[in-house]
Amino acid sequence: MEPNFKVNMNEYLPLRDVVFNTLRQAILRGELKPGERLMEIQLANKLGVSRTPIREAIRKLELEGLVLMIPRKGAEVADITEKSMRDVLEVRKALEELAVQLTCDKITKEQIRELEEAAEEFKRILESSDVTEIAEADVHFHDIIYKATDNQRLIQLLNNLGEQMYRYRVEYLKNPEAYPQLVAEHEEIIRHIERKEKEKATEIVCKHIDNQVEAVIDVIRMKNN
């Protein structure tokens, strides 16, 4: 069946970024499925662009772990594996622990308000059926915590890692049963950060990530059975 995605032009973005975002969304939404070949000519024709932005997008998608380059075969959509997911989330957990501890020391009242607003926005967007919108709202919440660390190297590492784990976040958020727990965890994180309770804030952040790990493992195992 022909995938039903198309390029959405944005006058503020270079064409290569528009193509990258289009293919990324198609993979995350499952319109391009694991194991599916990414043929440059076919994609260029479908999206009405040249092969150059397609090639650049595929390279970026490979860096995110969404695409694999197979010798003598070319590019294909990467499968979600338990090993790759654990590798990414183990590193994320260690960096998030550091981030929340630094944030407890450095966060301003204005940033606390931003966190509260982001948590409310996340709750509002949960009513949407668009899982990528929900994922973006979750990313925004965590980005405020990262920014509050005032550590540019840590922020850069977390942002790079965030790109690699975005797919797992989307898989987790496909299950609406997880939403009440996520909302409660966001509220707990804010409360402990505001009170500068490092130990409790770290504990809830770890729990937040562990819940995601277990939920995505369940999805992976169901797909493999």
3-state secondary structure of 35: coil
Listed residues 77, 92, 113: the one ending a domain:
77
Number of structural domains found in the chain: 2
Please report, for the domain that includes residue 130, its CATH number.
Answer: 1.20.120.530
- The pTM is what? 0.78
Q: Tell me whether residue 58 is in a domain.
A: yes
Burial (CB < 10 A; 0-12, 13-18, 19+), residue 169, is: buried
> Tokens for 154?
């840590």
Q: Are residues 28 and 87 in the same domain?
A: no
Q: Are residues 214 and 139 in the same domain?
A: yes
Q: Are residues 87 and 188 in the same domain?
A: yes
Q: Are residues 107 and 175 in the same domain?
A: yes
Listed residues 60, 77, 94: the one ending a domain:
77
Q: Tell me whether residue 6 is in a domain.
A: no
Q: Are residues 120 and 20 in the same domain?
A: no
135-151: pLDDT as tens digits: 999 999 999 999 999 99
Tens digit of pLDDT at every position of the chain (225 positions): 456 677 766 657 888 899 998 998 888 877 898 899 999 999 999 999 999 999 999 999 998 888 999 998 899 999 888 888 888 889 999 999 999 999 999 999 999 999 999 999 999 999 988 888 999 999 999 999 999 999 999 999 998 888 778 888 888 898 899 999 999 999 999 999 999 999 999 999 999 999 888 888 887 787 776
Q: What's the domain range around 58? A: 15-77
Return the sign of the alpha-carbon dihedral for residues 165, 63, 156, 133.
Answer: negative
Q: Are residues 123 and 170 in the same domain?
A: yes
